[in-house]
Amino acid sequence: MTNTYQPHSDNRFTFGLWTVGNTGRDPFGAPVRKALSPVEIVRLLAEVGAYGVNFHDDDLVPIDATPAARKKIIADFRKALSDTGLVVPMATTNLFGDPAFRDGAFTSNDPHVRAYALQKTMNAIDLGVSLGAGIYVFWGGREGTETDAGKNLLDAQKWMREAMNFLCGYVRDQKYALKFALEAKPNEPRGDIFLPTTGAMLAFIETLDHPEMVGVNPEVAHEHMAGLNFTHAVAQAWDAGKLFHIDLNDQSFGRYDQDLRFGSHNLKSAFFLVKFLEDVGYTGSRHFDAHAYRTADEDDVKAFAAGCMRTYLILKEKAAQFWEDAEIQGLLAEIVADDGAMDRFKGKYSPAKSKALKAEAFDRGALGRRGLPYERLDQLVVELLMGVR
């Protein structure tokens, strides 16, 4: 590996404790790797050059830990952070693992579960903030249904809104400098998860009491599972000023949630994503929410983590090359050419403009005869990615 693609703290590359800590357990088989302690994971991430580490409350402190055990775990974790220089930019709550959440957390039909979910989240927010988190992710894996016979869908929306409003109130009350990032997923583990896409989350946010505190955490795999274009979702979030965090991984369409190494499946869409993030100057965490193949041993897990970051950096270099490539830029200039003749119709509505536009004669046939060299342009991008340009 060359040094050019060495991760740097400016890249804001982060991993969750649950990502490199994944033991390979799946619905069909037992763990294949030993469970690493949070301290061991921090050391592993430091070794491969990551910037930060994120966690769910239960990843760091087991849900049934005694107060004494909790204290020791947190102290050891803090020491590992200061020994390695890793930071904690994001934290989140596990609202899906415990059997209590079998029918959801904030949208469970049981008011006791809904109240417990709020309590668990407030405690987890305290923990995350105490370790430095500035972003708090909400992934509602169990918020959904298998059958719509048993849940009032409008109540579910209302409960979700009330929970977010309550927690925004809590954060404001504590004077925490913390923002929320909502992560959508269409299904798995529920048959259908509520607010299944980034677009749905963006619309929901506008119904909250404090929309300015809440943005999104789009995940590559989750939009790809639904057959959607992830970069388009990210662009919409960016345009709305809501791209607070991002989960990078990969996924092939029509499969279960694979959480593959970034760029390992669809290199071309990974390229357009990296290009977008670099073009707009996204400065948030680039969080890899992925895990190694079940065939991996500990060394291969390190190769997996290093690979996520290296692929990102290589694609970043390719994105710069895209802007420097004269032939590509020539075609782009041709595609977006503007002779200025339509300037008088652009921008805000005015009665005079609408009148002039209605009177304009358009040559519809000529408009339709104009071809666009997208084939040539795309082939150049493919060749750039294949390393022959």
Give residues 182-241 in contact with Mn ion (rule: CB under 5 A). Answer: 219, 221
257 binds Mn ion (CB under 5 A): yes
Least separation, in Å, of the C-beta of 256 and Mn ion? 10
Known catalytic membership, residue 59: yes
Question: Which residues would be at the binding site for ligand GLT (CB under 6 A)?
Answer: 18, 56, 92, 137, 139, 183, 219, 247, 289
250 binds Mn ion (CB under 5 A): no
**71-75 — which CB contacts under 8 Å span 24+ positions?**
73/38, 74/127, 74/130, 74/131
Burial of residue 388 (CB within 10 Å: 0-12, 13-18, 19+) is exposed
18 binds, among Mn ion, ligand GLT, none (CB under 5 to 8 A by kind): ligand GLT
Catalytic residue among 57, 58, 59, 259: 59
CA distance 324 to 319: 9
* Residue in 136, 141, 150 with CA at minimum distance from that of residue 92: 136
Known catalytic membership, residue 10: no
Compare residues 163 and 221 and give the one whose CB is closer to Mn ion.
Answer: 221
137 binds, among ligand GLT, Mn ion, none (CB under 5 to 8 A by kind): ligand GLT
271 binds, among ligand GLT, Mn ion, none (CB under 5 to 8 A by kind): none
259 binds Mn ion (CB under 5 A): yes
Binding segment for Mn ion (CB under 5 A), chosen from 20-28, 75-83, 251-259, 320-328, is 251-259
Binding segment for Mn ion (CB under 5 A), chosen from 115-123, 230-238, 284-292, 294-302, is 284-292
59 binds, among Mn ion, ligand GLT, none (CB under 5 to 8 A by kind): none
Active site residues: 56, 59
Q: Which residues bind Mn ion (CB under 5 A)?
A: 219, 221, 247, 257, 259, 289
